[in-house]
């Protein structure tokens, strides 16, 4: 651990990604927490991707409907 991280840890200003590296814990617990943090980040990323896909699908449907309506109006 470098000096900056030690200073941050002493002042409780440790970034979230390093919280599982608490040196008071046994290595097994640190490893489990590290894997849990990675899994949580992966789940959040997947959730955000799903939300974005839904938004994009809705926007595309709206644009397609508008373009179909405009084409139909031209031929009426």
The predicted-structure confidence for 26-75, as pLDDT tens digits, reads as follows 778 878 888 998 999 999 999 999 999 999 999 999 999 999 999 988 88
Q: How much is the pLDDT for 29?
A: 82
Cα-Cα-Cα-Cα dihedral sign, residues 46, 52, 56, 57:
positive
Average the pLDDT over each of 16-20, 22-26, 70-74 and give the range with the smallest value.
16-20
**Three-state DSSP class for residue 45:** helix
* Number of structural domains in the chain: 1
Q: How much is the pLDDT for 74?
A: 86
The C-alpha angle 39, 4, 43, rounded to 5 degrees, equals 10
Q: Evaluate whether 26 touches 39 at the Cβ level (below 8 Å).
A: no
Domain around 38? 3-75
Q: CA–CA separation, 5 vs 62, rounded Å? A: 50
Token pair recorded at residue 13: 């200003």
């Amino acid at each position: 651990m470098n000096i900056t991280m030690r200073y941050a840890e002493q002042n409780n200003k440790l970034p979230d990604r390093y919280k599982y590296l608490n040196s008071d814990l046994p290595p097994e617990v640190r490893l489990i927490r590290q894997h849990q943090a990675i899994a949580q980040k992966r789940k959040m990323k997947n959730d955000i991707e799903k939300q974005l896909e839904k938004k994009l699908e809705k926007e595309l449907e709206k644009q397609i409907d508008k373009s179909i309506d405009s084409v139909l109006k031209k031929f009426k």
